[in-house]
Amino acid sequence: MKVAVVGATGLVGGEMLKVLAERNFPVDELLLVASEKSVGQKMSFKGKEYSVVSMADAIAQKPQIAIFSAGGSVSKEMAPKFAEAGTTVVDNSSAWRMDPTKKLVVPEINAHELTPEDKIIANPNCSTIQMVVALNKLHQALKIKRIVVSTYQSVTGTGKKAVDQLMNERAGKEGEKAYAYTIDLNVIPHIDVFTENGYTKEEMKMVNETKKIMGDDSIGVTATTVRIPVIGGHSESVNVEFERDFTLEEVYRILHETPGVVVVDDTANLQYPMPLNAHGKDEVFVGRIRRDETQPNTLNLWVVADNLRKGAATNAVQIAEYLVENKLV
């Protein structure tokens, strides 16, 4: 099994390598791929040193799988070139997510839709992944009518520059800025660019991707996405209206049976999900489970996950695992 990691030198690329190693993904030959300026840079994987190679070199070597985390414009240009060489691409950017000819996959929900013909597979947005993992089984049982979600997103979602900005501000040092404003001791209600309807692209990703992954355009979704001075994971306050009523016991049972979900909900002992505890883990943590007492059939949840892992690297590696296990590559 020859595997390429494209964008290997970035935050998510580094996390992908970590996840591949931890999960013992069957890598016989590894290609670490990055931009021309990084070619020749040395990186290690499972105790062995590798040199970063160029896109052209990687394509020529025809890996079976290429896991991309190199940004949308690179994916748009290079993913089809890998696909033409026979490689199956799992792409972490937004480039292919809403393309009607491409599958948008969260393995616990819709990996069964994949076929050997799917040569470019889209990995959803981090904030969408954790929400749909938490909600999918509830949707199957109770049928979701509407979701109102507000996110509290880690600076790691922006990248290394944002982490550096936060740490520099905390230390009182000058440095390069990823955000237009100070992020330390602040909250910025703005992720990605604003669109004509007044929502940001990040907010609209949650709206559109949720419907596509769950295969249901009737679900109403409205989102507000917010950047907070946290490292370790994204948090979400999720208000869900269902078509039919439920008991809280039923909700707990469904969540306990949901693959990839860990329920942390013991308010008597102050137990609830936090980024501090989700950091470095692959599960989606759900707590603060309670009825919305202002209208029928409606539930409030607090959902937390490590955005670099389940929100990006782990989900992509799980897709690759599914491809291998089901002989689709």
Question: Six-digit token pair at 251?
Answer: 């909700």
Residues with Cβ within 8 Å of residue 96, at least 6 apart in sequence: 75, 79, 102, 120, 122
10 known ligand binder: yes
Q: Tell me the pLDDT tens digit for each residue of 266-311.
A: 999 999 999 999 999 999 999 999 999 999 999 999 999 999 999 9
Is position 37 annotated in a ligand binding site? yes
Residue 279 a catalytic site member:
no
Question: Distance between alpha carbon 137 and the CA centroid of its chain, in Å?
Answer: 19
User: What are the C-alpha distances in Å from 285 to residues 20, 105, 152, 277, 281?
Assistant: 22, 20, 14, 9, 10
pTM, rounded to two decimals: 0.95
234 is catalytic: yes
Predicted pLDDT of residue 134: 98
**Residue of 112, 126, 256, 279 with catalytic role:** 126
Between 32-36, 165-169, 215-219, the lowest mean confidence (pLDDT) is in 32-36
Any binding-site annotation on 64? no
Catalytic option among 112, 234, 256, 279: 234
Distances in whole angstroms, Cα of residue 205 to Cα of each of 98, 125, 194, 202, 223: 9, 7, 12, 5, 9
314-325 and 11-22 helices cross at what angle (nearest 10)? Answer: 50
Q: What is the pLDDT of residue 211?
A: 98
> Which residues lie across from 298 on neighbouring strands?
241
The 3-class SS string of 61-104 reads: CCCCEEEECCCHHHHHHHHHHHHHCCCEEEECCCCCCCCCCCCE
- Does 175 show up as a binding residue in the annotation? no
Any idea what the Cα angle at residue 127 is, between residues 121 and 132, rounded to 5°?
75
Closest CA to 179 of 194, 199, 201, 163: 163
Instruction: Give residue 286's pLDDT.
Output: 98
257 vs 252: CA distance, rounded Å: 9
- The answer to whether residue 11 scores a pLDDT higher than 90 is no
244 is in an annotated binding site: no
Q: Buried (b) or exposed (e) across 171-185, using 16+ Cβ within 10 A?
A: eeeeeeebbeeebee
Q: What is the pLDDT of residues 133-157, one digit of tens each?
A: 999 999 999 999 999 999 999 999 9
> What does each C-alpha distance from 100 to 80, 206, 244 come to in angstroms?
16, 16, 31
> Is 9 assigned a ligand-binding role in the annotation?
yes
DSSP summary character for residue 134: H
Q: 71-130 pLDDT, tens per residue? A: 899 999 999 999 999 999 999 999 999 999 999 999 999 999 999 999 999 999 999 999
- When the pLDDT of each residue in the chain is averaged and rounded to a whole number, the result is 97
Residue 12 is assigned to a ligand binding site: yes
